[in-house]
Structures are given as structure tokens and as C-alpha cells.
Structure 1
């Protein structure tokens, strides 16, 4: 999976914004808490700051073939830092780099299976950032005695977006189901086609977790179901559910650019708001409090209908959340609360070694839990327990 697509990944409700710790460099206790709380998370660690960092214009223009694409302000530069790390500390170092100013990190596996091999961590920093200090502090925070060897190169936003577009090709999820970029002719006109322009939101169908969720929906949807895409990103899962025959799909996300991308993709697939409801939701309040959600959304001028969409519980036949380990754990009750008793909940965005932790967290609220996998990535499926 390329660095470019990895770094576009939009994960819903990543509670711990590690980059905020860059203002308190040297505060080792807080830094260590940040690092070790996130140990075991996915091997690609993007930050929501990346999308703002790359492009403050509407997300639908990011990969557009129209003239508006040339007007998108993508001429700025960034620093790409290739850090050589011992394999056994790569995940911890990757998380620590986010705590000290990286806006995105991706860990690349070695060519051989030798655990002693050094592997590459590619991190993105703002051009004004003190890269050496960030790497030194990150290394120290996880107990490394020496600063890792690294190489810094300058990249440009326009190149980033163009390269990402070039790396997004038609994807056959399963026989007869294709994800096709907006600017490419479908390779099989007889197949079910989901047309997509991901913009700067996660969800191209290429990543194993997205594919696992698509396959889960393909199995579950028989016709007439209601589906919630919890952290919709590009809207791909909600759109796919409707293509498979769901009666209604809802997607929400804390990122306005994700919702913009999802709405554009719904239009590309001839899906109207009567079938797919999309809504930005608050990110800085307790998800367990419906009253807080209602207050925050109304204060932003959101309609009563939109508030009802986000706060109505036990409504959906299927709930899917393709996010990150920590929000899956922190928001377990909130995620499952949207499913009807007996409804199916799908959880992804995690690697295989994290499955026992997630299963343990959900075992009291889901039953019949099963796990599917592609490579080292997993999707957990369970049924909401019926009360009474």
C-alpha cells in the first residue's frame, strides 16, 4: 500500500491528537502517556492535520479533471523524512513521532522476514519544523539511546496529489464488484460499479480494512436494510450498502472535508439525499451524551432532522465502523447503541494482534463474534445482544 494512499486515510474520532504535544516538548510524562496509550495501533499513522496541511480548498477538487483542479492551492512544500528504525520499536517510534510534530507516518515492512532488519518510517513534517529535535525527542521518549539515522527531502503538495491520483486504479473487490475512479472508464460494464473520487478522505477500496468491510456488507445486505457508516470518510461503505440493496444509509464523520467528498461520491453514483444522509458531527464532546451532541449540533445551525439522524439509537440493521483501535475501544458502547437489538456490527481498522483486545471490549454487548482477515488486517463481526 503506497505512502500516498496510506496518508490520505481519514479515521473517525481519533481521540488523542498527538501533534498537540509538540507545544510541550520535553514534558516526558505526558509524552510517554501519549506514546504508550497508542501502542499496537495500525502501522499507518495519519493525522487529520494532513488534509488541512495539503489543501484547504474543497476536497472534491483534489483529484478533479475539471479546470477547478488547476486553481487548487497545492503549490506549497513539505518535508518527507525517511527514518531507519529497528523493527521491534518501529510502531512505538512511529506513534512518538506524531506526538512531536509529524503530521503523518507510515511504516514499511522489510523485504525479508528477518526481525533484526531495519525498516523505514516515512514521516511528513511542515517545512518550518525542527525535524532533528522531533526525531531526537521521539526516540528518547521510547527509551532509544541514539537518534535514528534519517534522510530529509522536500516534496510539493501538487506532486503529492498527482501521484496519489496516479496510484488509484480500478479495484475488483470481489467478482462482479468494482471500485472505479471517477476519471477512468470501468473495465467491466456488466459489473456493479462504485464510482469514486476519494479526494483527501479515506476509502478507495484498496486498503484491506475497506475491502473487508465491503465484503461484509456484500454478505449482509439482502435488500431493504438500514445501514450506518460510523466514520464515513469518502462514503464508500454507505454507497456500497445502497448499491447492494439497502433501503437507507447514513454516514457521519467529524471531518467536513470527508462529508464533502462523500456527498460528491453519492452524486457520482446517482444516489440522492433521500437514500444517503451525510452529516458532520462534533468531535470534542463525550459521545455518550446525547444531550451534548444535540446542543453542539444545534449551536452550529444544524437542522432538527440532521440532529435526529445522528442521535437516534437502535435504528440500524447494520452498523459498520472502520476507524482505529483506540476509538473502537473508547466508543464501543456508542457505536453499538445505533444497532437494533439483533443487528450486526462490523468493526475494522485494526491489525490481527489487536483482535483479542477489541473482542474482549465488545464481548458484553455483542454475541456470535467472528473475525475475517486479509493479510495482517482484521474485521470483527458481531450481533447486538437483545435485552430482556
Structure 2
């Protein structure tokens, strides 16, 4: 069966209401995307620990999916009227029937992080049975190892963990860094994220990898310090969280920071240099990783 995919341009005041109304009136799905995605005007929205969360893009597009024989125009008109909109324009594309699961899986192959560390989706066999293999499937939470910032942190864990360390993964996303730390020999690993979805995904991924990690929302993180603190987030929250992350690091412990751009290295090095002896940055594809030892 084919499907009809419709795209409706709207502003942020009505996007969520329209998406909900489309679902109520018969759409199979309705998603909201940045109207300028893929252009120089693309707007990043995020919610990192310590930062306010932007809810939606100012100029959005609602993408709705309908069955092959559904009256998509009638559903859109009813939903628009319910939201107080007049005549509303939309574009329609016919999507041929496909094996969407197989198509999605084909886009994700095992990722080699280092000589001994691989990230392998569950539908693939481990490429190297003697390697450390993280079984991780793409999901709603950020972090599959494909982004340079995640790879930089994984490579640090692979090369620097000696065994038995306590590790804090602040901004854990999918839990990949906490899980990797345990599989690489850490004694314990704790993850923190502001998103409950990320906490659920992290727990599921830890179970899938047969490791015992703990994951918390920021307010639920127990008191204590760690041998290693990893924060793969963004420059703005890293600016704001320096004192807190330093307080969570044991004297002589290590900090690893990523999610920042090459041109932000000097500023972040100066901020964290208040508490840490910062080592030279590692750069990959314009993204940077900082690390240091707490004085």
C-alpha cells in the first residue's frame, strides 16, 4: 500500500495544535520539523542541563501521513478549521510501499571507534568477536557513536580508563558513554540527563549490553564525586556547569568535555582551567574534545 505524505507550513503558535488535530481527525502520523532544516537559517532547539528548553521552531512544517485512499484534504481542512485557521496550503507526495524496517536498518552499519571498540546494531553480527562490542540501536535519545563528539569521548575512554574507576556521564542521551565505560573496565557508571526519554533509553541500552549503570534526572543525582566526569553536551551548558562539574570530580580525577567547536576551545579551556590542568584539545571534523586533571 502506498501512502500520502503532506507538508504544511505553519508558525510556532499553531504547529502543535495542528499536529494534534490532524491525528484526531484521521492522520496516521503527524510530526513537526524546522521549516528551514538543511539551510543556513536552520534553528537549533535543545534542552541541556542548566539551560532553558526551546519548545519548537518559530517557522515549522507539519508533516502528516495518510493512507493511500484517505481524503487528506478534508482531514487537513477540518483540522485547520478547528485550530482557527482559514484556507491552508499543503504539498502532497506519494510514498510507495516499502519495507521501512529493513530500509531503516540498512542505513546503520557497525561503527569502529578504535582497534578494540565497536558499536554494533542488534541486527548485525559483531564484526570482531574479540573486540569490545557495544550493542546499540538508533532511537529517540541522542548518541549512537556516529557523531564526532561521541567518537572523541569513546576514544578517550578506550585509551585512558585503567580499570575500576567511577564514571559520571553528564548529559547521557542514549547512555552510550556510561555503558562503554563499564565494558571498558570502569568500576561503576552513572548517567544524568534532563530528558526522561533519555533515562528510559539509557536503562534499556544498559540492559541490552548486560551492564549495571544508574541513570538519573539532574535533581535525582546522589551526592558524591567521581574519578572521571564526561560531559558531551554543548558549549553553552558547559560554560554554565563548570563549577558543578568540577565539584563532582575527585581531586586528581579526570574531566572530559565535548560538544564544542574548534573555535570554542580557547574559551572553554580558560573557564575549566580554574579547576583543572587542561590538556591539548583533540579535533575531529571541526568538533573538539578537552580533557584535564583536577588540581
TM-score normalised by length of structure 1: 0.55
The reply to whether residue 312 of structure 1 matches residue 223 of structure 2 is yes
Higher helix share: 1
Q: Hey, what's the Cα distance between the residues in 1 that align with 2:288 and 2:294? A: 19
The residue that corresponds to 2:231 in the other structure is: 321
Q: Counterparts in 2 of 1:4-23, with a 5 A limit?
A: 22=12
Distance verdict in 2 for CA 1:170–1:256, change over 3 Å: same
**Residue 214 of structure 2 aligns with which residue?**
277
| Aligned equivalent of 1:195 | 135
Task: Give unpaired runs (5+ residues) of structure 2.
Answer: 1-10, 20-26, 47-53, 65-89
Select which of 145, 167, 184 maps to 2:124: 184
Q: CA RMSD in A?
A: 3.4
Q: Does 1:95 align with 2:5?
A: no
- C-alpha change, 1:198 and 1:83, in structure 2 (3 Å) is closer
Which one scores higher on RCO, CA 8 angstroms, separation ≥ 6?
A: 1
- C-alpha change, 1:280 and 1:219, in structure 2 (3 Å) is same
SS across alignment from 2:146: coil
User: How far off is 1:270 after superposition?
Assistant: 1.0
Shift of 1:330: 1.0
Q: Please tell me whether residue 333 in structure 1 is matched to residue 269 in structure 2.
A: no
- Whole-angstrom distance in 1 between the partners of 2:291 and 2:37: 36
Q: How far is 1:248 from its partner?
A: 0.5
Provide the C-alpha distance between the structure 2 equivalents of 1:155 and 1:326, rounded to a whole number of angstroms: 41
What's the secondary structure of 1:169's corresponding residue? coil
Q: Which residue of 1 aligns with 2:177?
A: 237
Pair 124,318 (structure 1): closer, same or farther in 2 beyond 3 Å: farther
**TM-score where L is the length of structure 2:** 0.71
Does structure 2 retain, via aligned residues, the 8 Å contact 1:209–1:322?
yes
Secondary structure at the aligned position of 2:173 is classed as coil
**Alpha-carbon spacing, 1:225–1:79, altered in 2? closer, same or farther (3 Å):** closer
Q: Deviations over 1:72-117 (max 9, x none)?
A: xx941346645685xxxx3xx33389979429xxxxxxxxxxxxxx
1:257-295 CA-to-partner distances (Å, cap 9, x unmatched) read 1111111111111113xxx111223xxxxxxxxxxx4xx
| Distance in 1 of aligned mates of 2:233 and 2:91 | 30
> Partners in 2 of 1:213 and 1:361 — Cα distance?
20
Name the counterpart of 2:6. Answer: none
Distance 1:155 1:239 in 2: 41
Equivalent residue for 2:113, pick from 166, 173, 185: 173
Shift of 1:153: 7.4
Residue 264 (structure 2) aligned to one of 354, 361, 364 = 354
| Alignment partner of 2:151 out of 208, 211, 227 | 211
